[in-house]
């Protein structure tokens, strides 16, 4: 890793992601679903205070929106999409930290972006960007971007003081030598019981098991040694990140 993050190259990588073609599909209700590393929707809002005149806004229909903003449809025309990309590019160049860049990346592309910029990050920025990516993505344990071994290596490289807040770190240090953890799963996830994300709370595990209201809900309990715990993330879920291969006594309740 770098002693200091290479922001210039990180932004250049983000620009490459920005140039990827926008993919669209349709939901059952016929609404448009946009898939792109930096666009989550076909509609883009821009504050009226933004310096639009410096960009090419010809042939782009700008409509009034709430909060003193303009709104336009990036799929309306090539000119509209070009304007959207120019605005995103301008925002990218205003970023001062890697964390600001990762927040601009669409959730479904964050792991891929992280993998691309790994060698450009300092230890501190890597831990911060990795945490943002992990906690913001709902499919972290099923990602195909990193293998389980690669994720284990990444968590092992994280400096705890950078990965956790002061409050989380204090709680982590006060953990007993062995912890009891829980994980709620259903048919879609029960094949991946030995995963990274568990919780200290049986109630949270039950909530996760009930997310899809199916009849195949299972709550698992396991033991893990403190030395095999990578991190504790509070955030209302009491999430414990463990080394999956070190879980003991995994039992369905």
Which long-range CB contacts under 8 A does 245-251 form with residues at least 24 apart?
245/152, 245/194, 247/194, 247/222, 247/223, 248/222, 248/223, 248/224, 249/221, 249/222, 249/223, 250/193, 250/194, 250/220, 250/221, 250/222, 251/220, 251/221, 251/222
The predicted pLDDT at position 190 comes to 63
The predicted pLDDT at position 137 comes to 83
The predicted pLDDT at position 57 comes to 74
The predicted pLDDT at position 188 comes to 62
The predicted pLDDT at position 47 comes to 86
The predicted pLDDT at position 63 comes to 85
User: In terms of DSSP bridges, do strands 43-47 and 63-65 run parallel, antiparallel, or are they unpaired?
Assistant: unpaired
Which CATH number is 171-252's, of 2.60.40, 1.10.3470, 1.10.287, 3.20.170? Answer: 3.20.170
Give whole-number Cα distances, 230 to 150, 162, 236, 252, in Å.
14, 12, 18, 23
With tokens 């229909």, the residue in question is 61
- CATH 3.20.170 residue ranges in the chain? 171-252
What is the residue-level pLDDT of the chain in tens, covering all 253 positions?
Answer: 789 999 999 999 999 999 999 999 987 777 889 999 999 999 998 888 887 766 767 778 888 777 788 899 999 999 999 999 999 999 999 999 999 999 999 999 999 999 999 999 999 999 999 999 999 887 655 567 899 999 999 999 999 999 999 999 999 999 999 999 999 887 666 667 889 999 999 999 888 888 766 667 889 999 999 999 999 999 888 999 999 999 999 999 8
Handedness of CA 163, 164, 165, 170 (dihedral sign): negative
User: In terms of DSSP bridges, do strands 69-73 and 43-47 run parallel, antiparallel, or are they unpaired?
Assistant: antiparallel
As a whole number of angstroms, the distance between CA 60 and CA 46 comes to 13
The predicted pLDDT at position 53 comes to 64
3-state class of 4 per DSSP?
Answer: coil
As a whole number of angstroms, the distance between CA 248 and CA 251 comes to 9
H helices of the chain, where? 7-18, 78-94, 98-104, 110-117, 123-136, 148-157, 160-163, 166-173, 202-209
User: Which residue, among 197, 189, 205, has the nearest Cα to 224 in the 3D structure?
Assistant: 197
């Amino acid at each position: 890793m770098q002693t200091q993050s290479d922001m210039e190259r990180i932004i250049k990588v983000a620009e490459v992601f920005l140039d990827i073609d926008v993919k669209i599909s349709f939901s059952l209700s016929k609404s448009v679903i946009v898939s792109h590393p930096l666009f989550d929707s076909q509609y883009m809002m821009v504050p009226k205070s933004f310096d639009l005149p410096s960009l090419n806004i010809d042939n782009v229909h700008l409509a009034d929106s709430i909060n003193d903003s303009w709104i336009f449809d990036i799929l309306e025309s090539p000119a509209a999409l070009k304007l959207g990309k120019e605005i995103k590019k301008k925002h990218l160049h205003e970023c001062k930290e890697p964390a600001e860049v990762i927040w601009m990346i669409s959730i479904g592309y964050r792991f891929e972006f992280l993998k691309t910029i790994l060698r450009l990050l300092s230890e501190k920025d890597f831990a911060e960007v990795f945490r943002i990516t992990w906690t913001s993505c709902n499919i972290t344990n099923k990602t195909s971007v990193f293998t389980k071994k690669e994720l284990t290596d990444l968590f092992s490289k994280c400096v705890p003081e950078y990965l956790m807040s002061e409050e989380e770190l204090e709680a982590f240090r006060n953990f007993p030598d062995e912890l009891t953890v829980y994980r709620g799963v259903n048919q879609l996830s029960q094949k991946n019981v030995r995963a990274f994300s568990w919780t200290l709370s049986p109630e949270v595990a039950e909530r996760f098991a009930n997310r899809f209201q199916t009849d195949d809900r299972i709550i698992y309990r396991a033991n893990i040694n403190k030395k095999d715990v990578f991190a504790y993330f509070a955030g209302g879920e009491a999430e414990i990140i463990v080394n999956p291969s070190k879980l003991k006594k995994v039992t369905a309740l």
